[in-house]
Chain A
Amino acid sequence: DGGITQSPKYLFRKEGQNVTLSCEQNLNHDAMYWYRQDPGQGLRLIYYSQIVNDFQKGDIAEGYSVSREKKESFPLTVTSAQKNPTAFYLCASSIPDRKFGYTFGSGTRLTVV
């Protein structure tokens, strides 16, 4: 079955460390997205990519970085510059044709220890 796989499910980060969250899809979707979800704040867009080797900043890109070297993969790195990284991170993908909706992964919960 096609879908989006996020790993790991839980991730713990020490102060000052960079960590990378994985997102892989086998839906053959061109566009991929990273969202952050905090209680009471809804989903906020971090980065998105509509094509390989190209990506755009979302509303809260500071302290994060991404790459899009393959169509199937869109990893997110949470850098030490992100001062409040504890959150639930969701990856999504879509066909760029706006008639279609988004498909989401199961999420990664990141906690700073």
Chain B
Amino acid sequence: KQEVTQIPAALSVPEGENLVLNCSFTDSAIYNLQWFRQDPGKGLTSLLLIQSSQREQTSGRLNASLDKSSGRSTLYIAASQPGDSATYLCAVRLHNRDDKIIFGKGTRLHILP
């Protein structure tokens, strides 16, 4: 059974620092991995989608990497800003007959002004 883990559960860093959020999954048989952002009381906003054949994707100050063989993905945020404060979730789309995605529980990020 696929399990997705995000460590740490919460993180506080000073504004301007570069930071890395981690996501690990137990079964490498995935189609893709998606990173989302969730603000308090809001829905999920898609940040980056990485296909299983890709190594990384970039959007602005965000860079997501994928190492399928080791079951790991990282989300790199450059030059963090207070507006980056949110919960970040990763999700993997399963490579089997069930069309489901499995979510991690998220990392709650707080950027200190």
Contact = CB atoms under 8 A, between A and B. Distances in A.
Nearest to B4: A42
Contacts of B44: 90, 92, 102, 104
B34 interface: yes
Interface in A81-101: 88, 90, 92, 96, 98-101
A48 B99 contact: yes
A40 B105 contact: yes
Nearest to B95: A98
A42 B43 contact: no
Interface stretch (A11-19, A60-68, A69-77, A105-113): A105-113
A109 B99 contact: no
23 contacts: A42-B89, A42-B104, A48-B100, A58-B100, A90-B44, A98-B31, A98-B93, A99-B31, A99-B32, A100-B49, A101-B32, A101-B34, A101-B46, A101-B49, A102-B101, A103-B46, A104-B36, A104-B44, A104-B46, A105-B43, A107-B41, A107-B43, A109-B41
A31 B43 contact: no
A31 B99 contact: yes
Interface in B86-113: 89, 91, 93, 95, 99-101, 103-106
Nearest to B42: A106
Contacts of B36: 104
Nearest to A97: B31
Nearest to A108: B43
